[in-house]
Structure 1
Amino acid sequence: MNIRLFSYFVTLVIKSRMEYRGAFTIGVVGQVVGYAANYLVIWLLLQNFNTIQGWDWTEIAFLYSLNLLTYAIGASFTYTPMVGLDQIIVNGNFDMYLTKPLSPFLYFLANLFNIGYIAHILISSVVLIWSISQADITWTLYKAIYLLLAIISGSLLQAAGLIVIGSLSFIFLRVQYLFSIFFKLKEFIAYPISVYGTLLQIILTWIIPLAMINYYPSLYIFEDSLLTNKILGITALVIGPLSLYLAYRFWMYGANKYQGAGG
């Protein structure tokens, strides 16, 4: 399946969802309000402590928004298909994705694209732009390009995490608890990982590199003087594409081993 055909399938999914505009609008408003409450909690916390490990409200808002925006972009393509994959396999419905003259991976993602994440994108983009305008950042063309690449890489890394867990459905069938663990881990990057112990920082940087989504890119944009953080900021741009490629290969490995609902 090429990009043009993939886009066509996504467009069809969006049109089908927009047939129920009232329900869609209510869902978007509800999610915006929910995430606005999360921002409010962080803001109230900063009113009492002023800074967290030297990060003020605008910097924390940038950090949180970068996490939420990249998650929304990556999850719009991967959350619904990967979370539902175990049930699709059990019901025997996965076979339909293997009997078409299309890439089963891209067809699977396109067919279950979730436009509902537009709410996440809206609120995170607004707060991200606001935090950029308020934070003490010296912007250059190079830094603007870096931010764009960081958003792309972070989105790919978020998607890769969901794909890897979803792929385990081919082996263990039931993996919903792993998604719960994944989202619990993601809560740690809502704040600078420097507030945690060394062991957890190592895990979030090198083992499950969630800090590459927002923490190290933020340090790079805020011009942290530590050379290690600058190197990790550049590394963050590579981790996303590499993780997605490995996740894709793992998914295809599982799909090739798939032998049917009773396999």
Structure 2
Amino acid sequence: MSIRLFTYIVQLVIKSKMEYKESFILGAMGQIVGYTANYLVIWLLLQKFESINGWGWTEIAFLYSLNLLTYAIGASFVYSPMIGLGQILIDGKFEQYITKPLASFPYFIASLFNIGYIAHILISGTVLIWSLVNTSIDWTIVRILYLILAIISASFLQAAFMVVIGSLSFYFLRVQYLFTILFRVREFIAYPISVYGTFFQIILTWIIPLAMINYYPSLFLFSHGSSIETTLYGLAALVVGPVVFLLAYQIWRRGINRYSGAGG
């Protein structure tokens, strides 16, 4: 599927959703209020302790915002199709995505694009920009380019986790509970992973590399830690997202090859 066709399908989905503007606006406002409350809780916590393992309010705000922003970007494309895949398979509606002369994966995610995450993007993007303005980062072309690439890579990584879980629907059908587990684990990266023990740091870096979403890019930008370690992990964060997403796509393809129809 070409990028132009993919974009066209997404535009059609957005137009159909915007037919119910009042519902969309109310939903977006509710999400903004909810995440504003989350930011407020973190701010109150920092008022009490001033810093968390050497990270101040603006740095923690950036850490949280980078996680939320990249989640929203990735989830806009894959959350709705992946969490709903099990029911789509049960209802026998998946055939409409594999019987057309289009690549099934991009067609599937484009058809179920979720514009509702715009509220997440607005609030997280606003706080992220505010936090960057209020930190003492020495902005250079390299750091600006790094931030852009880090957001892209982290968005791929966030999407990859959801694609992996969604693809398991080809084997087990009901996998919604795994999304709940993923979201609970994501809460660990709301704060610097250096506050956890070595065991959890290893898990969040090498087993479930959630720390590559926001912690290691933040280390690179804020120059925390040793320079060699910061640089290596910071650069790794730029490639982990696309690599894991490609692996997730291969799992999807294996699931497609296994699929034998609603009655199979």
CA deviations on 1:140-171 (whole Å, 9 max, x unpaired) are: 11100000000000000000000000000001
CA deviations on 1:64-90 (whole Å, 9 max, x unpaired) are: 000000000000000000000011111
Q: CA deviation at 1:229?
A: 2.6
Aligned residue identity for 1:167: S
User: Given that residues 223 and 230 in structure 2 are in contact (C-alpha distance below 8 angstroms), is that contact kept between their aligned partners in structure 1?
Assistant: no
Aligned to 2:235: 234
Return the TM-score normalized by structure 1: 0.99
CA deviations on 1:15-67 (whole Å, 9 max, x unpaired) are: 00011111111111110111000000000000000000000000000000000
User: Given that residues 149 and 237 in structure 1 are in contact (C-alpha distance below 8 angstroms), is that contact kept between their aligned partners in structure 2?
Assistant: yes
**Partner Cα separation in structure 1 for residue 65 and residue 36 of structure 2:** 11
**Partner Cα separation in structure 1 for residue 177 and residue 200 of structure 2:** 21
User: Given that residues 224 and 230 in structure 1 are in contact (C-alpha distance below 8 angstroms), is that contact kept between their aligned partners in structure 2?
Assistant: no
Aligned residue identity for 1:134: N
The percent identity for this pair of structures is 67
SS of structure 1 residue aligned to 2:263: coil
**Partner Cα separation in structure 2 for residue 186 and residue 11 of structure 1:** 30
Aligned to 1:140: 140
Quick check: 226-235 or 125-134, which moved more? 226-235
Aligned residue identity for 1:245: L
**Partner Cα separation in structure 1 for residue 155 and residue 47 of structure 2:** 30
SS of structure 2 residue aligned to 1:224: coil
Q: CA deviation at 1:249?
A: 1.1
SS of structure 1 residue aligned to 2:53: coil
SS of structure 1 residue aligned to 2:153: helix
Q: CA deviation at 1:225?
A: 4.1
Runs of 4+ off more than 4 Å: none
Aligned to 1:251: 252
What are the equivalent positions in structure 2 for 1:108-147 lying under 5 Å apart?
108-147=108-147
**Partner Cα separation in structure 2 for residue 99 and residue 246 of structure 1:** 24
Aligned to 1:260: 261
User: Given that residues 154 and 212 in structure 2 are in contact (C-alpha distance below 8 angstroms), is that contact kept between their aligned partners in structure 1?
Assistant: yes
Aligned residue identity for 1:216: Y
What are the equivalent positions in structure 2 for 1:45-84 lying under 5 Å apart?
45-84=45-84
Aligned to 2:150: 150
Q: CA deviation at 1:224?
A: 2.3
What are the equivalent positions in structure 2 for 1:1-263 lying under 5 Å apart?
1-226=1-226, 227-263=228-264
Q: CA deviation at 1:241?
A: 0.5
User: Given that residues 10 and 111 in structure 1 are in contact (C-alpha distance below 8 angstroms), is that contact kept between their aligned partners in structure 2?
Assistant: yes
Return the TM-score normalized by structure 2: 0.98
**Partner Cα separation in structure 1 for residue 229 and residue 82 of structure 2:** 35
Q: CA deviation at 1:262?
A: 3.0
Q: CA deviation at 1:254?
A: 0.2
Q: CA deviation at 1:197?
A: 0.8
Aligned residue identity for 1:128: L
Q: CA deviation at 1:228?
A: 1.7
User: Given that residues 58 and 134 in structure 2 are in contact (C-alpha distance below 8 angstroms), is that contact kept between their aligned partners in structure 1?
Assistant: yes
**Partner Cα separation in structure 2 for residue 51 and residue 147 of structure 1:** 23
**Partner Cα separation in structure 1 for residue 165 and residue 225 of structure 2:** 36
Over 3 Å counting, the alpha-carbon distance change for 1:214 and 1:178 in structure 2 is: same
Aligned residue identity for 1:237: L
